[in-house]
Amino acid sequence: MSKTPLLIATAFVLCATALFAGHADARERSRAVQRTPQGGSVAVERSNARFESQRQRAWQADGQGNASASRNGRIAGVHGGSAGAERSAYRNADGSAGRQGSAYANGPNGGSASTSGGISRDADGNVTGARTTTATGANGNGYTGSTTVSDGTLVHSRSCTSAAGDVIACPRGH
C-alpha cells in the first residue's frame, strides 16, 4: 500500500488547520456585562480584517423616579475611515428630562462630518435645545449649521464655504 495518499491527506489537514486557525485569530470579539439592582453596563469590542469597533452602554436608576443612561461607540476601518457617537439621557423625579449627543465621521479620502447638541425640559415643561453640525467634503467645501429651540421658537442658520474659504450658496437637498 502506498503512503503517498496518506501523506497528501496529512499535508492537506495541516494546511487547512493552519489556514482556519489564522482566520480565527483574525476575528476577535469580547463582551462584558455587569448588572446591579440600580443599573448596569455592557461593553463590546470587535476586531477583524476589515474594522475594529467598540461600544459601551450604561444605565442607572435610584427607585425614586431618577434615571440616566449613556451609550457610545466607535469604529475604524482598515482603509482609514472612522466614525463614533456618544449619547446620554436623564429623567428626574420632578419631571425634568434631557438628552445630549454627538457623532463624527471621517472618510478615508478626506471628507468629515460632526454634530453635537442636546435638548432638555425643566420641571415646569419648558423645552430648550441646540444642535450644531459641520461637514467638509473631500474637495474642501464646507457646511456649518446650527439649530436652536427655546420657548417654542425654532431657529436654524447655515453657511457654506468653498475650499478657499469663500462663502458660497448651500446646495438644496432633493
Q: pLDDT (tens digit, 9 = 90+) per residue, 140-154?
A: 999 999 999 998 899
- What does pLDDT average to over the chain? 87
Q: Quick one: pLDDT at residue 1?
A: 41
Q: Is residue 95 helix, strand or coil?
A: coil
Q: Quick one: pLDDT at residue 17?
A: 45
User: Nine-digit cell at 84?
Assistant: 463614533
Q: Quick one: pLDDT at residue 152?
A: 87
| Residue 73: Cβ-neighbour burial (10 angstroms; 0-12, 13-18, 19+) | middle
Q: State percent of the chain over pLDDT 90.
A: 74
The pTM of the full predicted model, rounded to 2 decimals, is 0.77
Is residue 92 over pLDDT 50?
yes
* Residue position matching grid coordinates 423616579: 65
